[in-house]
Amino acid sequence: MKEIVGIRFKKVGKIYYFSPGDVKFKAGDCAIVETVRGVECGEVAIPNRTIEDSEISSPLKNIIRKADAADMKTVEKNKLREREAFKICEEKIALRKLKMNLVDVECTFDNNKLLFYFTAENRIDFRELVKDLAAVFRTRIELRQIGVRDEAKILGGLGICGREFCCKAHMGDFNPVSIKMAKEQGLSLNPTKISGTCGRLMCCLKNEQPAYESLLKITPKVGALVVTPDGDKGKVVDANLITGKLRIKTEKSEVPVTLDRGEVKLLKDAEIKLNKEELRALKNLEGK
C-alpha cells in the first residue's frame, strides 16, 4: 500500500499519481511537481489516499511543494506568455505558408519549454518553424501534431444534443468507440447521424454501450425466431431495445404484430453483424 495524491494539469485531463511526502492536500489545492515535460503546476483532483501497489504503473515522483501565492503569479504570467506565443506562431505559420492549424500552446511552469499543438491533414516539415520560434522565445520548442478528437477536447463546443462536448466536460481520456456499437444500439449508420463535430464516432456511444449490452441479453434481435403467446412461430423484423417492443411477422399473417419482449418465447436468436460495405464506408470514423 502506498499513499498518493492525484494531480491533473488540465481542467478535464488525465490524473497522475504523485507521492505527497508529509504534506496533506485537499481537492482544489495546487502543487508544483516534476513531470517528463519539466516542472509543472497542477491541481489536486484526489487528496491524500492509500491505494494498492498494483494500481501504480510506474515509480511515484515526489511533489516538490504546495503552490503558494508567488507560484500562482508565475502561472498567470505563463498564461500571458502562451497567448503571446500563440499569436506569434500563427504569424510564422502564415509567413512560411505551412498547411497546419495551430490549436493550443502550453508553457511549462519553469518556463523551460513551450509546446505547440496543431492539426494537419498530412505530415508537416516544421523544422524551420521551430528555429523561428526558438529565436523569438529563447527556450526549448516542441511541436506536436494531434488528432481531431484531441482538438475538440482542447477547443470545446456544443454537441448535437445541445450540451458541452463529453470530452471537454468530463472525460479524462478517450475510450475506443466502434461502428459495431452504433449497429448494436440500432442507430442509422449514416455518418452525419453517428459522428460528432470532430468527424469521429460520438463518444456517447461508448458511454451508453453497457446499457445496450444489458438490453441485448434480454431482447430478441432482428431476425430472431420466436413463438407468440398464441403459439404462432414468427421472425422479428424490428426491435426497440429501449421500450422492449418487437414487431414480429408470423407464419400465419403477412402483417407484423407488435408484442413486448416478455410476451414471446425465443427459439433462436440472431446475430448483429457489420457487412464489408458498411465497414469500408465508415472505417474512417473510428480513428483519432
User: Are both 83 and 54 inside the same structural domain?
Assistant: no
User: Are both 121 and 94 inside the same structural domain?
Assistant: yes
In a domain, 137, yes or no: yes
**What confidence category does residue 256 fall into, taking pLDDT thresholds of 50, 70 and 90?**
very high
State the pLDDT at residue 132: 96
211-233 pLDDT per residue, tens: 999 999 999 999 999 999 999 99
Residue located via cell numbers 434480454: 218
Nearest partner of 204 among 241, 172, 171, judged by Cα: 171
User: Are both 142 and 99 inside the same structural domain?
Assistant: yes
Which domain CATH number covers 136? 3.30.300
What is each CA distance from 276 to 84, 201, 280, 288, in whole angstroms? 49, 18, 6, 21
The domain tally of the chain equals 3
The last residue of a domain, from among 146, 169, 192? 146
Q: Which strands make up the sheet holding 16-18, listed edge to edge?
A: 16-18, 2-8, 38-51, 30-35, 63-66
User: Are both 59 and 77 inside the same structural domain?
Assistant: no
Cell numbers standing for residue 87: 499569436
Interval 127-138 mean pLDDT: 95
User: Are both 36 and 77 inside the same structural domain?
Assistant: no
Nearest partner of 24 among 55, 40, 9, 3, judged by Cα: 3
User: Are both 62 and 83 inside the same structural domain?
Assistant: no
Kindly tell me the burial class for residue 123, based on how many C-beta atoms sit within 10 Å of its own C-beta (0-12, 13-18, 19 or more).
exposed
Domain region containing 105: 73-146
User: Are both 25 and 43 inside the same structural domain?
Assistant: yes
Residue located via cell numbers 483519432: 288
- Which amino acid, 10? K
Instruction: Decide if pLDDT at 117 tops 80.
Output: yes
In a domain, 155, yes or no: no
User: Are both 36 and 92 inside the same structural domain?
Assistant: no
State the pLDDT at residue 176: 87
CA atoms of 288 and 152, how far apart (whole Å):
11
What pTM did the predictor assign? 0.80
User: Are both 82 and 57 inside the same structural domain?
Assistant: no
CA atoms of 256 and 265, how far apart (whole Å):
16
Which domain CATH number covers 232? 2.30.30.30
The last residue of a domain, from among 52, 67, 82? 67
CA atoms of 156 and 286, how far apart (whole Å):
20
User: Are both 56 and 78 inside the same structural domain?
Assistant: no
The last residue of a domain, from among 67, 92, 108? 67
User: Are both 60 and 124 inside the same structural domain?
Assistant: no
Residue located via cell numbers 412461430: 233
